[in-house]
Amino acid sequence: MLRPLTLIPVAIFAVLAVLFSVYLWQVGPGGKDISQIPSAMINKPAPQFNLPAIKNLPETLKIPSLTTADLKGKVSLVNVWASWCPPCRIEHPVLMTLADRGVTIYGINYKDRPEDAVRFLTQLGNPFKQIGVDSSGRTSIDWGVYGYPETFIVDAAGRIRYRHVGQIHPHQLESLILPLLKQAAQPAADAAKAGASKTGTSKTGAAKVGNS
């Protein structure tokens, strides 16, 4: 007969097993999406950083370095990736599709060897407008990254609007990523319309004064 003290570890293990089974059901048949994890960075400016370019790039891959200032002026994706990351390799064709459709994508290359990063881009193609090398991992920490790949939507003002943990799947382009990119661009478009409207109103007002 088992003593009460020996039953405690068994009971703890059973509880953990049940919790883990529930978690697996949620992310599997239960349909829980763990890619859209809330982030304290949402609607806040992107972290300050100044990252160098990948070393020893061939002539066919002259990709500039990346700084925080580069993120302003246009809605973009910031993708944190590494050549040693299997999901990054699986996701890469999705990024190529986005780039082909005119989406600006910036890359943060996380703790990678330059030769491996070059080989990765040479073999799979380059969807990135600019890439910054985060050899220490500090910049990725500032972004709140803890899984790879991770992707952020940044608006024209340089504010983070969305965070996607893990790879972007092909079916998420039309249902999630592209609508969010359009939504991120909306405030800038509205501001431009408002500015144009004010200018038009001023001109109309001036014309009326002249006609009177």
Per domain, the residue ranges of the chain are 50-187
Helices 86-100 and 114-124, packing angle to 10 deg: 50
Question: Model-level pTM greater than 0.75?
Answer: no
Residue 172: C-alpha distances to residues 25, 104, 180 (Å):
21, 17, 11
pLDDT band at 22 (very low <50, low <70, confident <90, very high): very low
Query: How many helices and strands in the chain, by DSSP H and E?
Result: 6, 7
pLDDT band at 207 (very low <50, low <70, confident <90, very high): very low
Residue 106: C-alpha distances to residues 17, 68, 200 (Å):
41, 11, 37
Pick the closest to residue 167 from 74, 61, 89, 77 (CA basis).
Answer: 89
Q: pLDDT of 40-56, one tens digit each?
A: 789 999 999 999 999 99
Q: Would the pLDDT of 123 be above 60?
A: yes
Q: Would the pLDDT of 129 be above 80?
A: yes
pLDDT band at 38 (very low <50, low <70, confident <90, very high): low
- Mean of the pLDDT values across residues 156-175? 96
Q: From 3.40.30.10, 3.30.67.10, 3.30.930.10, 3.90.220.20, which CATH number describes the 50-187 domain?
A: 3.40.30.10
